[in-house]
Amino acid sequence: MTLLAKRSIVKEDKSNIITLGAIAKEQKKKDPEVINATIGMLYDEDEKLFAYKSVDKALNILTTDEKYAYGSTPGSKDFHEAVKQWVFRQYYNDFKDISAVMATPGGTGALSNTFANYLDEGDKALLPNYMWGNYKQVLYENHQDFMTYKLFNDNGGFNLDDLKKCMLELKESQGRILVVINDPCHNPTGYSMTEAEWIAVINMINEISADGTPVILLHDMAYIDYSKAGFDFTRKNISLYKKLNDNAMVIMAFSGSKTLALYGVRLGAQVAVSNNKQNIEDFNKANKFSSRSKWSNSTNLGMNLVTKVFTNKELKESFEKELEDSRNTLIKRANAFLEESKKCGLKTLPFDCGFFVTIPCDNPEAAYDYLVKKKIHIIPMGKVLRVTISAIPLKDCIRLPKLIKEAIDATK
C-alpha cells in the first residue's frame, strides 16, 4: 500500500541526464582520464567549470541586502528593465511597452508557469520530437499532455509543414495551441532556425489565430547568447514578434543560469510579448499568482547579479567580450567534432551551434555501456546519443567521433 495520491504513484524521474551525469562526475574524480560529456555546463580547456570574471566582479560588489534579502515575487522593476534591455537589445524601444517580465527559478520555472497558465488540465502542448525531456515532466506535473511535431524535414531544415499540420490538429481538438520552439542552439541537436523559417512561423501563427483561436508560442531561448550568429541576428528574429496579431502572444523562457553560467543560482524569467494590452495584464496577474504559490520568490542574489551585469556599462562590455570568447570556444570544438565525424563516417543530426551535438543511434543504451567501458560518458536518449561539447576540451572533441562510431558499429 502506498500513501501517495493516485497521480503520484507513477511518478519517477526518467530523465537520465542528471543521474548519468552524477555517475560520470564521480568516475572523473577517481580517474582524470574519464571523458564526461554529459551535463550542459560550460567548462574551459583545463576542464574546470567556467566562470565569467565580470559576473564574479558583480557578485563582489553586491550589498548584503542585495545578496540575501527576500526578493519580490515577480522581481524588481530594475530586474525587469535589465532583462528587457538584454533580450530585445536594439529593438528595446519597439517592445518596452508591449512586454512584461516575471522572475523564475531558471528557465524551467518559466516553462512551468507558462504551461500552467496557458493550457487547461488535459490539454496538449506541441513539442518538437527531439527535445529536452523535462518538458514532458513539467506537463505531467501540471496535469497536461503533449504531442510532437517533426523538427526536421527531408532536407534537414525546420519542418514547417509538419508544424502547421500539428497546430491545425490541436486547433480542431482543443481550440487553443501552445507550441514550444527551442532556438537557437536547439537542445539536444544544436540546430538553429534561419530568418526565413522564423518569418514563416510568425505568418503561420497569424494565419491560424486569425479567427480568434488563441496561439501561444513558448520560445525556449536558453542558449540564445551562445549562437554563433551573434546578438544582431538572434534579436532580429525576436523583432518579428511585433508582427503578431492580437490573438497570439510569445512567452520567452530566458535562462540567466545559462547566459551568465550561473547554473546553480537558478535564475530565469518569462518574457511575454503581445500587441494586446489585456494579454499582458493577464500574464502579470496569473504568473505572479503561480510564482507565489510554487516558489514564493526567485533568488534575490541572482536577480541582482543579472541586473548589475546587464546595466553597468563597464561590466556589460566586459561580459559581452567574455561571452564572445565562449562562443568562439564552442565554435572551435564543434568544428573539430564535425570534421572528425565526417572523416570517420559518423552521422549527426543537423547542427549549427551550441552546447550539444546529437548522433542517431539504433541502440543507444548498448552504445552507452560500450563507451563507459572506454571511460567515455555521454547521454543515451530515445534513438540518439547526445554529446555535450561545452563540457569537454578541444582534444576530446577531436578524439570522440571515431570512438563513438566504433561503439555504434559494435552494438548494432
Each of the 412 residues of the chain gets a pLDDT tens digit; together they read 889 888 898 887 766 788 889 999 999 999 999 999 999 999 999 999 999 999 999 999 999 999 999 999 999 999 999 999 999 999 999 999 999 999 999 999 999 999 999 999 999 999 999 999 999 999 999 999 999 999 999 999 999 999 999 999 999 999 999 999 999 999 999 999 999 999 999 999 999 999 999 999 999 999 999 999 999 999 999 999 999 999 999 999 999 999 999 999 999 999 999 999 999 999 999 999 999 999 999 999 999 999 999 999 999 999 999 999 999 999 999 999 999 999 999 999 999 999 999 999 999 999 999 999 999 999 999 899 999 999 999 999 999 999 999 999 999 8
Q: Give residue 15's pLDDT.
A: 67
Q: Give residue 14's pLDDT.
A: 64
Q: Give residue 11's pLDDT.
A: 84
Q: Give residue 55's pLDDT.
A: 98
Q: Give residue 7's pLDDT.
A: 87
Task: Read off the amino acid at residue 249.
Answer: M
Query: What's the pTM value of the predicted model, to 2 decimals?
Result: 0.96
Delineate the domains of the chain, giving CATH numbers in brackets: 12-52+316-410 (3.90.1150.10), 72-311 (3.40.640.10)
Q: Give residue 120's pLDDT.
A: 97
Task: Enumerate long-range contacts of 394-398, CB under 8 Å, 24 or more apart.
Answer: 394/45, 394/332, 394/333, 394/336, 396/35, 396/37, 397/333, 397/334, 397/336, 397/337, 397/340, 398/336, 398/337, 398/340
Q: Give residue 13's pLDDT.
A: 75
Helix axes 195-209, 160-174, angle to 10 degrees: 20
Strands 145-149 and 177-182: unpaired
State the DSSP H helix or E strand holding residue 61, giving kind and residue range, or none if neither: helix 53-61
Q: Give residue 401's pLDDT.
A: 98
